[in-house]
């Protein structure tokens, strides 16, 4: 197949994917929001409620990060660091991990992260949102069953509701994996690392 023929076939598939994405957006718009508790988490300056993280915005994006023991979660956070201002112009944006605040601060400083972070250490937040599996960790037993993803919340009067969530993993649209799909015969063993030097 010529390059032009291949690109025509691939563009047809991309149109199919965009049609599926439109269907997903319609399903999302029709989904009943999930009422959630106003969880108590640990911010860098002390205890903080989920409601405090909105910072005057209607919507809140919370990234469920597995913590400093996960190079893939570090890769996602590095990417969000680059687009943080764009994200924060639309909604409050916070990275949440199970690491204690002192460990978060040191790791974030070393990576140059600019976004706010909270710890859900000692909270049921990650578990209740479906981002912690007690006793079953598909990534690495050392990481304690924490799973990566994103949840989007909205203030609804006095209530907080979750509008949507999505898991992170190879093939998602939230980081470099989609770009790597454009490289035929790329190294299938590639995995994120903390440093490539």
Q: pLDDT tens digit string along 132-142?
A: 987 654 444 45
Q: What pTM value is reported for the model? A: 0.89
**Given this model, what pLDDT does residue 178 score?**
75
Comparing 23-27, 50-54, 157-161, 186-190, which segment has the lowest mean pLDDT? 186-190
| Tens-digit pLDDT profile for residues 93-105 | 999 999 999 999 9
What mean pLDDT is reported for the chain? 91
**Given this model, what pLDDT does residue 135 score?**
61
Residue 184 clears pLDDT 70, i.e. is over it: yes
Q: Please, which residues have CB within 8 angstroms of residue 128's CB and are 6 or more apart in sequence?
A: 36, 37, 39
**24 alpha carbon, distance to own chain's centre:** 18
- For residues 117-144, average pLDDT: 78
């Amino acid at each position: 197949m010529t390059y032009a023929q291949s690109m025509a076939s691939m563009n047809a598939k991309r149109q199919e994917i965009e049609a599926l994405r439109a269907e997903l957006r319609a399903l999302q718009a029709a989904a009943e929001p999930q009422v959630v508790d106003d969880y108590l988490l640990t911010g860098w300056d002390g205890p903080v409620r989920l409601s405090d993280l909105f910072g005057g915005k209607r919507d809140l994006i919370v990234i469920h990060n597995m913590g400093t023991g996960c190079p893939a979660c570090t890769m996602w956070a590095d990417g969000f660091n680059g687009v943080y201002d764009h994200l924060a112009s639309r909604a409050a944006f916070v990275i949440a991990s199970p690491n204690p605040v002192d460990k978060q601060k040191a790791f974030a400083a070393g990576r140059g992260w600019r976004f706010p972070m909270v710890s859900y250490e000692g909270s049921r937040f990650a578990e209740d949102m479906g981002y912690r599996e007690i006793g079953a960790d598909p990534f690495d037993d050392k990481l304690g069953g924490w799973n990566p993803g994103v949840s989007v919340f909205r203030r609804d009067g006095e209530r907080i509701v979750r509008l949507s969530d999505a898991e992170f993993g190879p093939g998602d649209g939230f980081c470099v994996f989609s770009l790597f799909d454009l490289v035929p015969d790329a190294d299938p063993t590639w995995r994120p690392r903390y440093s490539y030097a």
